[in-house]
Amino acid sequence: MPIRQRSTRPGGRRLIVVEPFLEWHEQAACGDEPSELFYGPERESQHERLVREGRAVAICDRCPVRTPCQKHALKRPEPYGVWGGTTESSRSAARRSSAEVPSRRRLAAVDQSS
């Protein structure tokens, strides 16, 4: 699998990420959109962020590769930007939620064995 360099702008900073080429990147609806739409500036107001994220998610809603993009963002995990229709805060909440599930299961198992 060839290696591909892609530029990202987490928090407004330029970062080069080298990763194996993923075919779905080439099919993404966001490919021709400005990265600033998906990665906000560091001192963005809450209102500006919500408007920008809403516009980005609308692009994700019509994207043919939304599901693999979303899975990538949750698996990697991508801490910045809008990926597969998910925002930084929604992915963070999903990770917290899934991290809590095992502890609940362990508690249930302990209760049953007592």
Tell me how far apart the alpha carbons of residues 106 and 103 are, in angstroms, rounded to a whole number.
5
What was the pLDDT predicted at 42? 87
Q: Could you tell me if residue 42 is inside a domain?
A: yes
Q: Could you tell me if residue 48 is inside a domain?
A: yes
Binding residues: 30, 60, 63, 69
Q: Could you tell me if residue 86 is inside a domain?
A: yes
Binding residues for [4Fe-4S] cluster: 30, 60, 63, 69
Q: How many domains does the chain contain in total? A: 1
Q: Could you tell me if residue 81 is inside a domain?
A: yes
Tell me how far apart the alpha carbons of residues 93 and 109 are, in angstroms, rounded to a whole number.
25
What was the pLDDT predicted at 21? 53
Please report which confidence band the pLDDT of residue 100 belongs to, taking 50, 70 and 90 as the band edges. Answer: low
Q: Could you tell me if residue 8 is inside a domain?
A: no
Q: Could you tell me if residue 106 is inside a domain?
A: no
**Residue numbers of the domain that contains 84:** 24-94
* Mean pLDDT on 90-102: 76
Tell me how far apart the alpha carbons of residues 51 and 37 are, in angstroms, rounded to a whole number.
10
Q: What tens digit of pLDDT does each residue of 69-87 get?
A: 998 888 888 889 999 999 9
